[in-house]
Amino acid sequence: MTSIRQHEHEYSTGARPVGAATEESAAANVQQMFDSIAPKYDLLNHLLSVGLDRWWWARAAKVFRSTLAQPDARVLDLCCGTGDMTMALMKYRPKGVGEASLLAVDFSHEMLERGKQKFAKHNIVAIEADALHLPFEDGTLALVTSAFGFRNLANYEDGLAELYRVLKPGGQIGILDCNQPEGIVGGLYNLYFKQILPRIGGMISGDREAYRYLPASVERFPRPRRMLEMIHATGFRDASWTGYTFGTAGLYRATKP
Ligand SMILES: C[S@@+](CC[C@H](N)C(=O)[O-])C[C@H]1O[C@@H](n2cnc3c(N)ncnc32)[C@H](O)[C@@H]1O
């Protein structure tokens, strides 16, 4: 049993909420789930991550400060949701950038509406679109980040290929996402993530299934070794993963040659 389950994790190609047999139904299910939890998303995020989320966004954004400091760099925050990663990136954008300081994409209308409230005072362009079909021309972006969003895509290889397509040569990706740690930390993590978090999340959001999906999606998400292989196979170079907070989250970076 264990080996079959490990095999599934190693080769899972995308998120599959319970009951979703195809990529289309998985995407529709994920979209509905985020629409449903959007009103409580920020509260639950800060609560369930015991405030670590803010630190993870800030730490990841800082890594890209030199690209963000270039006024003409087109930067996309993908799966921006309610916009906290986008705002962390904004800190490093110079004043008076022309057309758009940042681009922010999400396919959940309700999440994006909340993001737009944070973006209103800034020159951030919010776009409702699917990460697997981005409304950008080939080779036009300098940086694409995604915080806790990539794991939810219905097909990870197609997601990476789409990022590769829209990036300029020399453009970078920064994928911040959860990770299932190994060893003792893994045991404690499982206890919290699988037993405690779904109860609190379900109670406050009123959507128990969404907070059962969260640990299940992390378990399904490829481990760093496999993700790095997939990033390389897409054509990126210099792929790396930096673990955050005992490996419970981490940042993937890579560059398009
Ligand atoms: C866990 S939230 C993360 C939001 C935000 N980046 C943050 O760090 O708080 C994941 C987001 O990814 C979005 N998402 C998932 N799959 C997507 C897809 N295929 N296209 C666009 N957005 C997607 C969801 O709608 C949701 O808002």
Residue 60's pLDDT is what? 98
Averaged confidence pLDDT in the chain: 92
Residue 139's pLDDT is what? 98
Q: Any idea which architecture 2-255 has in CATH?
A: 3-Layer(aba) Sandwich (3.40)
Q: How far is the CA of 132 from the centre of ligand 1 (A)?
A: 12
Rounded mean pLDDT, 173-199: 89
Using a 6 Å cutoff on CB, does residue 152 contact ligand 1? yes
Q: How far is the CA of 3 from the centre of ligand 1 (A)?
A: 30
**Confidence bin at 34 (pLDDT 50/70/90):** very high
20 to 31, 41, 150, 202, 231: CA distances (angstroms): 12, 23, 18, 20, 25
With a cut of 80, say whether residue 70 has pLDDT above it.
yes
* Residue minimizing CA distance to atom 23 of ligand 1: 79
Interatomic CA distance for residues 23 and 32, integer angstroms: 14
Using a 6 Å cutoff on CB, does residue 214 contact ligand 1? no
DSSP per residue, 29-84: HHHHHHHHHHHHHHHHHHHHTTTHHHHHHHHHHHHTHHHHT-TT--EEEET-TTSH
pLDDT > 70: percent of the chain = 95
With a cut of 60, say whether residue 156 has pLDDT above it.
yes
Rounded mean pLDDT, 231-238: 98
Using a 6 Å cutoff on CB, does residue 86 contact ligand 1? no
With a cut of 80, say whether residue 133 has pLDDT above it.
yes
38 to 9, 44, 171: CA distances (angstroms): 28, 10, 31
Q: How far is the CA of 30 from the centre of ligand 1 (A)?
A: 9
Q: How far is the CA of 151 from the centre of ligand 1 (A)?
A: 9
What are the extents of the domains in the chain? 2-255
What are the pLDDT digits (tens) for 51-60? 899 999 999 9
pLDDT > 90: percent of the chain = 71
Residue 12's pLDDT is what? 64
Q: Enter the pTM of the model.
A: 0.93
Candidate from 152, 157, 213 with most ligand 1 atoms within 8 A of CB, to mutate: 152
With a cut of 90, say whether residue 37 has pLDDT above it.
yes
* Residue minimizing CA distance to atom 1 of ligand 1: 148
With a cut of 70, say whether residue 108 has pLDDT above it.
yes
Secondary structure of residue 209 in the 3-state scheme: helix
Q: How far is the CA of 175 from the centre of ligand 1 (A)?
A: 12
Using a 6 Å cutoff on CB, does residue 210 contact ligand 1? no
Using a 6 Å cutoff on CB, does residue 106 contact ligand 1? yes
**Confidence bin at 11 (pLDDT 50/70/90):** low
* CA-based nearest residue to 80, from 39, 30, 131, 154: 131
**Confidence bin at 136 (pLDDT 50/70/90):** very high
Using a 6 Å cutoff on CB, does residue 85 contact ligand 1? yes
With a cut of 60, say whether residue 176 has pLDDT above it.
yes
Residue 7's pLDDT is what? 43
What are the pLDDT digits (tens) for 244-257? 999 999 999 999 99
